[in-house]
A and B are shown apart, each in its own frame.
Chain A
Amino acid sequence: MKLLTHNLLSSKCLKGVKVGYPLRIVAKDVKISESEFNKEFVKKIIPKLDWKVFVNAAVQVRSTYDCTNVVTQEFNLYQSTTILTGFTKCLFFLFQIGHGNDLSDELIDDYEDDEEYLKKVHHLLMEVEIINGELICPETERVFPISSGIPNLLLNENEVS
């Protein structure tokens, strides 16, 4: 699950929950995949995001993340450079997330023209994927498991409001 999807998730349907947004993230395994940087897409998706929720989600993924759990996606297993690219991506990831403090709670004014900034947003929105972990309802602490990249947001009949 990507952070772009996380921005839309809520537990409002739980009995007794008023807002149920945003869901807290506990990431156990994180995958970094490459996705083509589409500048227009990123530029225009930013106004559609709840920005603070997005920035916070990125921080939560980083803080619960452990380097040994990075699963790097290899595109061509037969290339002799495989190990090297995996290593580079891991470093890249650490650089992006481990030191990614520069996405602040407030969106910068001139983000539309700042290509580096847009690339950073692109990476966090589209390339960081939570494979295993948990989403937690902010009001009831109900845990929604994420496994194989698929969050399970189903409720039992007795939990529905």
Chain B
Amino acid sequence: MIINTPAYTVSDNIPLDENNEEFITAPAVYEPSEDTFLMLDVLELDLEQVISTRLSKTNKVVDSTAKCGPLLVVELGSGFGILTAAISKAFSDTLSSIAVGAHCIAIDMNPTACRKTIMTCKLNDVEVDAIRGDLLTWMRHPETSNVNNGSNKEVYGPIDILLFNPPYVRGPEGEQAPTPTVIDAKDKEANDRKLASIEDGAWLGGGPDGVDVLKRALHQAADLLSEYGVFYALMIDYNYNALVRDEMQARRDRTDQNIYHDDLNSVELTTFGSSPANRPLICTHILSRKVPGENLSVYRIYRPIDFN
């Protein structure tokens, strides 16, 4: 399967649509870079297989030729919207033989990024929705909605594919990542300060291991991924080391006798979500790349299929 790099433009002078003449350019948006393209390569490498071996299981159909889906795709911190545009486009062409389609939602706390994402998607002729929000805090929880899936109350979340190229860098003094908050248009000075902090801190993953933001996302993802859903997350080497270290610490603290499915390429994570012990996640290494000064990897995080 081929996932094409979508068209995008770094020029600021594009209105959102023909009815909107606004050219909002601040705060600046993180531009597509090596990490973005590594994520694209991972989708190309892994996604088709994940759809045919995992996501297609959700639709139990007699006819084995039936396509899977529709799938819900959510990208966190979408920035320019490259990943959302690429995956949305893939579903409308290369993946259309195995999936009926996908609904894509892009999230960013930066208002300019939300607009950029929509622009990039328009440029690639795909329709997505953008939401200004903080990770997955805006999403309905399985227990609060009434979904028509027969007698079984929905126990898993709705997200089939979650993408996150998080801010992953640690600050020299373990600085916190900027807190996403509403910007109140009335107080111009406070607004500018907040916008500047979003811009300045766009690379900060938070805490001594730069992993605070990713851990929050993991907590939410554990509850909101669908039964066979997958979460692709990019990490720098010390992010992953911190996750593994914390997992081992948690197991030691519990002094439990469980057998874990750890190996060289994957580790079982048992501390995320509202019922982590019943629903562990596996974090498997997919692809790494060395770029100047950084060793980046993308992991797929998912529930083991043979669980139960």
Binding site for B on A (CB under 8 A): 1-2, 4-5, 7-13, 19-22, 33, 35, 38, 40-41, 44-53, 71, 74, 77, 107, 126, 148-157, 160
Contacts and interface: CB of A to CB of B under 8 A. Distances in A.
A52 B146 contact: yes
Interface of B: 16, 18-20, 22, 59, 67, 69-70, 72, 100-101, 103, 105, 109, 111, 114-115, 118, 127, 129-134, 137-141, 144-149, 158, 179-183
Contacts of B72: 8, 48
Nearest to A4: B103
Contact of A107 (B19, B130, B148): B148
Nearest to A127: B127
B140 A148 contact: no
Contact of B19 (A71, A150, A154): A71
A19 B141 CA distance: 9
A38 to B, nearest CB: 6
B138 A150 contact: no
A49 B145 CA distance: 9
A12 B140 CA distance: 7
A47 B183 CA distance: 37
Chain A contact residues: helix, strand, loop or mixed: loop
Nearest to A44: B70
A50 B147 contact: yes
Given A2-B129, A48-B149, A156-B181, A148 B16 contact: yes
B139 A8 contact: yes
A5 B131 contact: yes
B138 to A, nearest CB: 4
A107 B134 CA distance: 33
A155 B182 contact: yes
B219 to A, nearest CB: 13
Given A9-B138, A38-B101, A152 B20 contact: no
Contacts of B183: 154
Contacts of B118: 149-150
A153 B130 contact: no
Contact of B140 (A9, A40, A45, A149): A9
A154 B182 contact: yes
B101 A47 contact: no
B158 A1 contact: no
A153 B16 contact: no
B267 to A, nearest CB: 29
Contact of B148 (A2, A11, A49): A49
Nearest to A158: B181
A44 B59 contact: yes
A20 B137 CA distance: 12
15 contacts: A5-B105, A5-B131, A8-B140, A8-B158, A10-B140, A47-B148, A49-B147, A49-B148, A50-B148, A51-B148, A53-B145, A71-B19, A153-B133, A153-B134, A154-B132
Contact of B146 (A50, A74, A149): A50
A41 B100 CA distance: 6
A115 B131 CA distance: 31
Contacts of B115: 148, 150
Contacts of A33: 127
Contact of A151 (B59, B132, B179): B132
Most chain B CB inside 10 Å of its own CB: which residue of A33, A148, A149 = A148
A79 B228 CA distance: 47
A14 to B, nearest CB: 10
Top-3 shortest CB links A-B: A153-B138, A10-B140, A40-B100
